[in-house]
A and B are shown apart, each in its own frame.
Chain A
Amino acid sequence: GDSVTQMEGPVTLSEEAFLTINCTYTATGYPSLFWYVQYPGEGLQLLLKATKADDKGSNKGFEATYRKETTSFHLEKGSVQVSDSAVYFCALTNSGGSNYKLTFGKGTLLTVNP
């Protein structure tokens, strides 16, 4: 079945540091790939997505490129802020019809210190 593997945290960085959170996937066909962010005590917010190979999703300074050859979708940000502290989930969906089930990675806790 489909699966998502993301780097285990926690990740602790200083403000303005460069961020990479690795994500690789296993799926048949052509999945869509997502990064969601969860702030403490809240639900998930869509951060960015990519629906086909070589697409780059970007939002709020974060970006990730859909790499089919390496089955990866690594999340990057050039300069993190304290407000970026949250749990980040990589996910994929691989359904063609009306049932878009998401397969999640385990999540990576990011803490940014001032």
Chain B
Amino acid sequence: GAVVSQHPSWVICKSGTSVKIECRSLDFQATTMFWYRQFPKQSLMLMATSNEGSKATYEQGVEKDKFLINHASLTLSTLTVTSAHPEDSSFYICSAGGGLADPGDTQYFGPGTRLTVL
């Protein structure tokens, strides 16, 4: 149980285009989903926290208009990188938690999405 999927697993796009990444909790409902960014050989950096049906809470220094987050249901959150540039190239990881399957404080992570902007 507690499986989280991400799609796509990797994407290459041209500079200036927008890219949408989906995060789904497959076998549980998640009240909260998180989006992280990870640079090579570094730890995860929390970008934003989203609760179903409400606006996401962004961490300091993360541009809200660049990284659009939608949490439309208890099983789906999306991250859209708008007008992507090469510096946005990174490994993006989502996590889900706080759901009925595990009402405690455990977060379950997706497999990540590798974004490369040319």
Contacts and interface: CB of A to CB of B under 8 A. Distances in A.
B52 to A, nearest CB: 10
B42 interface: yes
Interface string B78-118: 00000000000000010101100000111111111010000
Interface string A31-75: 010101000011111100101000000000000000000000000
Given A43-B6, A51-B104, A101 B46 contact: yes
Interface stretch (A18-26, A78-86, A102-110): A102-110
A99 B49 contact: yes
A40 to B, nearest CB: 11
Contact of B109 (A44, A100, A105, A106): A44
A32 B104 contact: yes
A109 B31 CA distance: 32
A104 B36 CA distance: 11
A89 B57 CA distance: 24
Give the bracket for the number of chain A residues in contact with chain B. Answer: 20 to 34
A111 interface: no
Given A98-B31, A98-B32, A98-B98, A42 B105 contact: no
Interface centre among A42, A51, A106 (most CB of B within 10 A): A42
Contacts of B57: 99
A106 B43 contact: yes
B109 A45 contact: yes
A95 interface: yes
B42 A106 contact: yes
B73 to A, nearest CB: 16
Given A34-B106, A44-B109, A46-B109, 7 more contacts: A41-B112, A42-B112, A44-B93, A93-B107, A95-B105, A102-B46, A102-B107
